[in-house]
Amino acid sequence: MANGPTDSSERFPRVVRSVQQLRSDVACARAAGRRVGLVPTMGALHEGHLSLVQAARDECDMTIVSIFVNPTQFGPHEDFDRYPRTMERDLPLLRRVGADLVFAPDRQTIYPEGFSTYVDPPAVGQPWEGQCRPGHFRGVATVVLKLFNLAGADVAYFGRKDYQQARVIQCMVEDLAVPIAVRVCPTVRESDGLALSSRNRYLDADQRERALALWKSLLLARQLVQGGERQAESINGRMQQRLIELGVDRIDYAALVDPVTLQPVARVQQRTVALVAAFVGQTRLIDNLEIEPCSS
């Protein structure tokens, strides 16, 4: 598969930091008729990321994992500086699941001097995270498009945990005719339901317990819908109440939305997605659950 001298490491998976090397490795794979998968990440990998790598391995002949903590998707008071950078731990995990290549560019490679072109995110990026984290999806869409252009992969893999992000990327790819297929893979959860997130490592034991409130509020929404409740306002209110009872410190939103447009629904008539975002201590967590009105 990828051959030639390594940029920075003799370890498998091969770690590549330059665009030139990435492109030459992908060109070799393509020349050999291989299908290339890309899993964009910011590192601090967990089983959720590894399930994306596994999905890529199942479908593709070469799996690239990008690791880049993207500064433009963090707000001025967010956790960019303390976001975990754990390359030493990430590489053995990637080796375990059989990633072929890690693309780990530095900031200059992605945002060289004079960089000034950004993607204006699609309408699905406006509510929810778009309101709470202004500029976030502009940063995400920009870096993801750049990674797509650099890697030239056939398929890209994202987690459903970031439901709105996945919709932003799907719409961007469609609107701009980006030649890549987007796969959205199921959320991976702890045995008690907590969605895996790189930010879970900020939580102490008490906060970890309280973080379960997000999942429990989603389960409540599903239970209410499947019990016949159709008024979204009432369900949203009950989710918020549950979040508070179970100890979150602040709610950004808890709402039933249309799974395609992400606009709030008034009545639950068909498949709906419950979205939640809340703070536990200083840590902001998000989660979601797709809900069908009929249980059987």
Token match 């030639």: residue?
4
Whether the Cβ atoms of residue 52 and residue 91 lie closer than 8 Å to each other: no
**Residue with Cβ nearer ligand PAF (143 or 265):** 143
Asked whether position 140 contacts ligand PAF by CB under 6 A, the answer is: yes
Has 49 been annotated as catalytic? Answer: yes
Among 52, 53, 91, 143, binds ligand PAF (CB under 6 A): 143
**Residue with Cβ nearer ligand PAF (178 or 219):** 178
Q: Smallest distance from the beta carbon of 42 to ligand PAF, in angstroms?
A: 4
**Residue with Cβ nearer ligand PAF (40 or 125):** 40
Residue span 32-71 as binding mask against ligand PAF, x where in contact by CB under 6 A, dash where not: --------xxx---------------------------x-
Residue span 162-201 as binding mask against ligand PAF, x where in contact by CB under 6 A, dash where not: x--x------------------------------------
Residue count at the site for ligand PAF (CB under 6 A)? 10
Q: Smallest distance from the beta carbon of 194 to ligand PAF, in angstroms?
A: 17
| Cα–Cα dist 195/16, whole Å | 30
**Residue with Cβ nearer ligand PAF (119 or 144):** 144
Residue span 70-109 as binding mask against ligand PAF, x where in contact by CB under 6 A, dash where not: x--x------------------------------------
| Cα–Cα dist 254/58, whole Å | 35
| Cα–Cα dist 223/227, whole Å | 6
Whether the Cβ atoms of residue 44 and residue 84 lie closer than 8 Å to each other: yes
Helical H runs in the chain?
A: 19-31, 47-59, 87-97, 107-110, 129-132, 136-151, 163-175, 205-226, 232-245
| Contacts with 78 (C-beta within 8 Å, 6 or more apart), sequence order | 133
| Cα–Cα dist 222/248, whole Å | 20
Which of helix, strand or coil describes residue 122? coil
Token match 């709105």: residue?
164
Catalytic positions, written as ranges: 49
Q: Using CB under 6 A, list all residues that contact ligand PAF.
A: 40-42, 70, 73, 140, 143-144, 162, 165
